[in-house]
Structure 1
Amino acid sequence: MNVVLYHNPKCSTSRNALTLLRERGIEPTVVDYLKTGWDAATLQRLASGAGVGLGGLLRTKEAGAKALLEANASDAAVLKAVLAEPILIERPIVETDKGARIGRPIERVLEVL
């Protein structure tokens, strides 16, 4: 099974999700999205795979993300903001052939394994 972890190594929840996967014998492809950034196709695929709109991927603890949600921003506005500021996306996100899940709580990643 192909498993991709969209990861922020500075985030303890993201690190714990990586540990959880490895404890189950899964070595995911790790994408440090703060270094690589996002692209529109990946974000739309993750939102669809997680069963949420683009706004559902936003990290509400980030002021910019919170402002977008409070303004009921369009998907186009969310996409533009996230492409400019990758930190606005929640972490970690795990993607497999079964879909995608935001790992909060981290046990949610097990749903797509």
Structure 2
Amino acid sequence: MDATIYHNPRCSTSRKTLEKLESAGVDVTVVKYLTEGWTREQLTKLFADAGVTASQAVRKREALYSELGLADASDDAILDAMVEHPVLVERPFVVTDKGTRLARPIDGVDEIL
């Protein structure tokens, strides 16, 4: 099985999810989205496939979330902010042939393995 993980190596949940995928024998493609960034189209598809909205996928604990006033923002405004500031995207997202999940909690990836 192949999987893609949108990964932040500084995030313990992201690291543990990557370890889980590797220990399950999955061939993992690692996308370091903080370096590579996002397009609006990528995020829109990723969220739709995972069954979440931008409001549900934004990192509310990130200082930028408050600084940019995103608590009352529309999903369109949140998407724009995520494209400009990739750190605002919750992590990690995992994509396999069986589906897409936001691995919070980590066990959420079990459904697509």
TM-score higher than 0.5: yes
Q: What code does the residue aligned with 1:55 have?
A: S
Q: Do the aligned partners of residues 112 and 65 (structure 1) sit closer, same or farther apart at CA in structure 2, a change above 3 Å counting?
A: farther
In the superposition, the TM-score normalised over structure 2's length comes to 0.90
Q: Tell me the residue number matched to 2:92.
A: 92
Once structures 1 and 2 are overlaid, which stretch shifts more, 49-58 or 80-89?
49-58
**Distance in 1 between residues matched to 2:44 and 2:95, nearest whole Å:** 12
Secondary structure of 2:100's partner? strand
Cα displacement string for residues 2-60 of structure 1 (whole angstroms, at most 9, x for unaligned residues):
31100000111101000000110012110000000001111011111111112121112
Q: 2: CA distance between counterparts of 1:77 and 1:14?
A: 25
- Structure 2 counterpart of 1:6: 6
Show the counterpart of 1:49: 49
CA-CA distance at 1:92 after TM superposition: 0.8
Judge conservation of contact 2:34–2:86 (CA < 8 Å) in 1: yes
| Secondary structure at 1:25 match in 2 | coil
CA shift at 1:65, angstroms? Answer: 3.0
Following TM superposition, the consecutive aligned residue runs of length 4 or more in structure 1 with deviations greater than 3 angstroms are none
Deviation of 1:104 (Å) = 1.2
Aligned to 1:31: 31
SS at match of 2:27: coil
TM-score (norm 1): 0.90
Give CA deviations for 1:73-106 in whole Å, capped at 9, x if unaligned. 2222111101110000011110123321111111
